[in-house]
Each structure stands twice: as structure tokens, then as C-alpha cells.
Structure 1
Amino acid sequence: MKNSWLIILKTLIFLTFSSCGLYQLKTADRSELSPEVNRVSVRREGTIRKDTGVIPEHDLKKYAFELGFNPDNELSDEERSQILSRYKVRALERTLDSEKERLHYSKVLPYLLSDQEKVDYLSHPTMEGRQSWVNRNKIWSRAKSDKDFLEVVETQDLTLGMNQELVKKSWGEPESVEYSGNPVYKNEKWRYIRDVPSPNGYKRERRYVFFEGGRVVGWETQ
């Protein structure tokens, strides 16, 4: 009889310790796996956002319109790439803290040919680095190309790439000027009003000239 009770007691003790061990094992598994899954998810999300160049929907629409695209239509990969570059430019422009930095950028801006060049210039964190980039890429030598626009000015016409001074020589002072962002960056819309001849006499015509970085990027007549 005593032996039977001893066997039963040993069995109960064994089962008790076994169940405790299983519980601890399961608890440990949960505590170790959950945080790891969360960390992996965060890393993946961060990688996806970085690789695909995700930008806020509001900014996507804003810069799509700025570049002349309709964001309500399906955008091509090339259009999305241009929008992303413009988004980067505007973000980097906001990092220019001092008036000296902004002034230097405004002088270089008319001679930068694309948003990618603006990104390359602005990505340098110091004035010295930006100036070295300007010298290395011979940006100032592009100023000589303004002579090519003089024939257009003589005919009182416009062409893409003209600077603001040449536009004034061709069309005169604008009636009004609208600025996009900081005026020092010369992203502007100029309005002209002209009375032009027509079969029914003279009619009033409104002309708008659009500038990016002080250079003509387009115009329209109403």
C-alpha cells in the first residue's frame, strides 16, 4: 500500500514540474518572437519607403501641377521621377539656413539645367562644398551662352532658357509678379498686358511668363 502511494506521489510531482516547464517555454517563445517580428516589419517598411521614393499625396499633387502634369491622370514612371526630384529640391532648399547661403544659391540657380543638378548642388552640406561643385562643373562658363539669346531679344520675342533681364529687354517690365516659395529663388510668374491689332481693331491680350530659377520655362497667352 505504501509503495502505491509513493508511486502516485512521484507521478504527481513529475507532472507538476513538467507543466511548469512547458508554460515557461511557451511564455519565453512569445516574448522573444513578437519584438523581433515588429523590428523586421519596421525595417522592411523603412526600406520600401526609401527605395520607392514615397512622398505625401499633397506634395505629389502640388509638384505635379508645378511641372505641368495632371495628377488626376495616371502618371508615367518618368513623370513620377521628375516629381520626386522636384520634391527633393524643395526640401533641400528649406535647409539653407543663412542669407549668405540663399544668396549664393540664387546666383547659381539660373545656370543649373535640371532639378538633378540642383539636388547635386544642394546636397553638399557646406558653402565650400557647393562652391567646389560649381567650379568642378564649370557652371559659371554657362553665363556666356546668354549671348545666344540676343537675336531673339532684337525681334522682341521669347525663348526657353532666357534669363529675366533679357525678358525685360524683349518685353519690358511686367505688370505684376507672383512668387512661388522664397523670392530669392526666382520661381515666378510675370504678367504682361498688351493691346494687339485684330480684324476688329485692337484687343487686349494677357501674357504670362513662367520662370524657374530665373530662367524661362514657359509662357501662355489669354
Structure 2
Amino acid sequence: MKFLFISLPVVFTVLGCAQFQRSSSSGYQAPMTYQDSEHASRPSYDRQTRQTAYELGKDPNSLSPSDLDEIRSRQKVREMERTLSSKKEREQYSKVLPWLKNDNEKIDFLAIPSIEGRQQWINRNDIWARSQAPAEEIKDLIETQDIAVGMPQAYVKKSWGEPTSVEVSGNPIYKNERWKYLRHVSSPQGFRQEVRYVYFEGGRVVGWETE
């Protein structure tokens, strides 16, 4: 996701005749070309499914069953997020969002019908401990001042410090952001300034680029 972050029914026509669709048993169907055959072999997905596939970094023309499961989970999350009606609900979700590991955890959290119930879920699953005790691979990244896909925003700050600027995409509670860093790196010609952008979705790294 870069900021960060489609087929019509075939109608045959004949010169001098009105438009019509031939029956498959009429014997008058045009022969299928290689291109038609290749297109027909691809399943057709609706616009929302294709958009969600791109959001997840997947090719909508070659989705596996597991890809489709991921897409459905992401769409379910989006539907449930829209049910957060109060400011307190949205603030609670925004705070916990970067520490939820995947869409299934988001669904479990959002399925609870009250703020108090969601807080109990947070406590029961010891969610806040994740911010205090990063996994070993995250510790290694912080020590080497590196980042990785899936890294929460708080750990990016520990590794790279505060960003020079932050751009927000859409509703701020969802933490879909682009952070800009200005860093000085060594080169054969001495130190030079390098611009780096880090992209977040739900408060976790989804990619970065360097200028």
C-alpha cells in the first residue's frame, strides 16, 4: 500500500443482422483464440476483491485459496472498523492496532461489543507486554538500526528515531502513514544526505524506499 499503499459479456454481431447471442449448441460460435482461452481460464473477481488484493500486495489475476482467505479477512476487518461509532472506541482501537499481529486478531478484538470487554481481551492476551518485550529479531534490528516489514511504529522510532515529517492517509485512527527520514550516510565522496520513506498500515511497516 503506497500513497502509502477490471470484463464484459461477449456479444457477437453479424453484418446486416441485429445483435444477438448465439446458443452454445447452435454450431455457429466463433472459434476461441489463444488470447480468449487464456482470459477465460482466469477467474473474474469483483472490484473490491481486486482492490483488496492490491492492498495486500497480491496479483488479483493469480490468487490462491489462501490468498482469497486473506482477502476475505481483510474485508471483514474493514467492515468491522466502520462499526466503531464513538470517539473512545476509535481511540482504544488506534492504540492497540500496532500491537495486533494479524487480521484474525483484529477480528477477535472488534467482534467484542463493548469497550470494557475489549479491554478485558487486551489484558487477557497481555497485548501491552508486546510493546515492552520485543521479539529477538526485533531487538537485533533495533541494535543494528535497521527495520523490517511488520515492525510496529514504536520500534521504528527506537531504531531510526523520530521522523522528520509524517503524512497520514485517510482516517488517522487506522495509522496508515508515511514517515520521512533525512539521514547522513557515508559514500566514496564523503557523507551525503539520503531521504528515506517508511510506509505503515495499521501502525506496522509495509514497505520503504530511498531517494
State the TM-score, normalizing by the size of structure 2: 0.66
**Higher RCO (C-alpha under 8 Å, 6+ residues apart):** 2
Q: What does 1:30-109 correspond to in 2, within 5 Å?
A: 57-71=46-60, 73-109=61-97
- The number of residues matched between the two structures is 166
Q: Please report the RMSD computed on the Cα atoms of aligned residues, expressed in angstroms.
A: 2.6
Cα gap change, 1:178 to 1:77, in 2 (>3 Å): farther
Q: Is the 8 A contact 1:146 1:162 kept in 2?
A: no
Cα gap change, 1:59 to 1:101, in 2 (>3 Å): same
User: Is residue 119 from structure 1 mapped to residue 107 from structure 2 by the alignment?
Assistant: yes
Match of 1:157 among 135, 146, 156: 146
Paired residue secondary structure (2:147) = coil
Per the TM alignment, residue 203 of structure 1 is displaced from its structure 2 partner at its CA by: 5.7
Unaligned runs of 5+ in 1: 1-55
How high is the sequence identity, in percent, across the aligned residues? 57
Per the TM alignment, residue 179 of structure 1 is displaced from its structure 2 partner at its CA by: 2.4
Deviations 1:79-102 (A, max 9, x none): 121111111111111110111001
Q: Is the 8 A contact 1:158 1:167 kept in 2?
A: yes
Match of 1:182 among 168, 171, 183: 171
Whose helix proportion is higher, 1 or 2?
1
Unaligned runs of 5+ in 2: 1-44
Q: 1:18 is matched with which residue?
A: none
Deviations 1:161-210 (A, max 9, x none): 43323322322332432323321221222233445344466665442222
Deviations 1:100-159 (A, max 9, x none): 001111122122111011011111222122223223333233233237444433322213
